[in-house]
Amino acid sequence: MKKLLMTLCLAGAMCQTVVAQIETAQVTGGKVQGVVTDGLSIFKGIPFAAPPVGERRWQAPTPTPAWSGVKQADAFAPACMQPENSMGNTAPVAEDCLYLNVWTPAARADAKLPVLVWIYGGGFSGGSTSIPMYDGAGFAQQGVVFVSVAYRLGPFGFLAHPELSRESGHGSGAYGLADMIAGLAWVRDNIARFGGDPGQVTIFGHSAGGMAVSALAASPVAKGLFQRAICMSGGSFAPLQTSNQQVTGLGIPSLPVAEENGAAFFRKLGVADLKAARALSAGEIQQGASGGGPDAIRFRPVADGHIITSDLYSLYEAGRFNDTPVLVGNTSDEGAAFPGGEVTPESFTQQIKAQYGPHADSILAAYPHATAAEAAIAARGIRRESSFAWNTWTWARLQSRHGQGKVYQYFYDYHPGAPEGTGSGHGSDVPYAFQTLASRREPAPEDVKLSSLISAYWVNFAKTGDPNGSGLPAWPAFTEQDQKAMVFDAAPGARPVPNLDKLKAYDAYIDWLRGQAK
């Protein structure tokens, strides 16, 4: 058996040399064979559910069929159906896409290493596990087992429809989340064969993946499948969307609204019922979801009454969530990735007054906008708060208020060479955590240093539920009484949560919305 030596140097620990030698594993369905390279055993394209095709389209995932012999697990499976080149995905796409990947440094199956399970972002319409930035080697080389899980996207993962709700008996529109849960169940049942500890699982994701993490953290169906959670620029704690006109960041639509959208999608496809829709090809379904404009139908997780039982804020307030340690954060210029066109002081004022009603004046007061330059910064700022920063801060407050698990908040603000008035864009922290900076550009020594720091915090958190370690700047837990965040900039350190005045102004608006909903 081929054996490769690898030296692990963990933050706050002695370096240790291990021999990666897990080349085959017996998993649910049969035996798989991976490859051993650079000191890691790597398995790609392991099925964790039956192909969601034919009658299984728009159903919860079912167990993967058994196979005979040894399945080669040395290449990524096709990405789930999505528009071409979504989120940098260049892999072929297919409806048969429920596969996962494992990177492990374990020398033996009984190593009981912590496990990190990655959920990619992409607006619930794109993304894949094979994007080079998401390579798991950087984490695995620090002594954790890394798993990346695919999930259905767009109308394949998040279509709700009255017929589908009747068929399931408990709502519809959360198939992508059900895929993640099936992947976590696979981890529970199989990861020990790769040297992982099923009792030390950390789920983490970015953007839509972070929103999914927040949904799993409040889902009774996911209870017990993970012990820690990391969310990078995600979360969804606004009231449920009860109309298509009510859009609040990464809001979760109510089942009636999502079912109405599903019925409209069937009309767009030119089908009369569910049977006819299932008879269409995957390409025809995907084509029907393409295009933007005011009439475009957005697909994202639905409050189906089963996986997502209510809005997440209410579930936390009622103590109905999966209480674990949590690490959450966002970047300083999230809104730069979502341009809204040219902004003037007048147009910014009009936009805020139209959208925020009686709270418009307090929000305008929190965002200086007297000049065109200020208005541009203000527009990006309100997009940061409404979509990401408020969710980060609110999750931290709710976990601190109602949970036993500690919560750690961060704010990523490292952007050397960026134009004046801009900051760190959406997703700019992800390659630093993965240590995959070279997948985008040649990193400078300062980039590598910050990447090593962030990645070490993530690994420490996966090991203990606490990011702190020897030689790292101290990262205090967030509490409502002492609201601190680790700021990742040129001189990382813990400081008061940034933009607190803006967060409070937006929070007052959401609190008003919540009252209106009641």
Distance between CA 433 and CA 450 in Å, rounded?
9
* Beta strands 196-206; 228-232: pairing state: parallel
Q: State phi, psi for 310 to the nearest 5 degrees.
A: -170, -175
Residues contacting 114, CB < 8 A, separation 6+: 143, 144, 145, 196, 197, 200, 201, 202, 459, 462, 463
Q: Which of 238, 232, 248, 254 is nearest to 301 (CA)?
A: 254
- Take residue 337 and report the two structure tokens written for it: 């990735």
Determine contact, residues 78/93, Cβ cutoff 8 Å: yes
* Residue 259: active-site member: no
Residue 169 Ramachandran class (φ > 0 left, ψ -120 to 50 alpha, else beta): left
Q: Which of 156, 261, 183, 174 is nearest to 219 (CA)?
A: 174
Determine contact, residues 219/307, Cβ cutoff 8 Å: yes
* Residue 207: active-site member: yes
Q: State phi, psi for 154 to the nearest 5 degrees.
A: 50, -140
Residues contacting 386, CB < 8 A, separation 6+: 248, 249, 506
Q: State phi, psi for 336 to the nearest 5 degrees.
A: -65, -25
- Take residue 22 and report the two structure tokens written for it: 């897990």
Query: Which one of 334, 359, 369, 424 is the catalytic residue?
Result: 334
Residues contacting 116, CB < 8 A, separation 6+: 136, 139, 144, 145, 146, 147, 202, 204, 458, 462
Any bridge partners for residue 425, and if so which?
333
Query: Which one of 86, 125, 207, 214 is the catalytic residue?
Result: 207
Residues contacting 420, CB < 8 A, separation 6+: none
* Residue 86: active-site member: no
For CA atoms 345, 351, 352, 354, the dihedral sign is positive
Query: Which one of 426, 428, 451, 455 is the catalytic residue?
Result: 426
Enzyme catalytic residues: 207, 334, 426
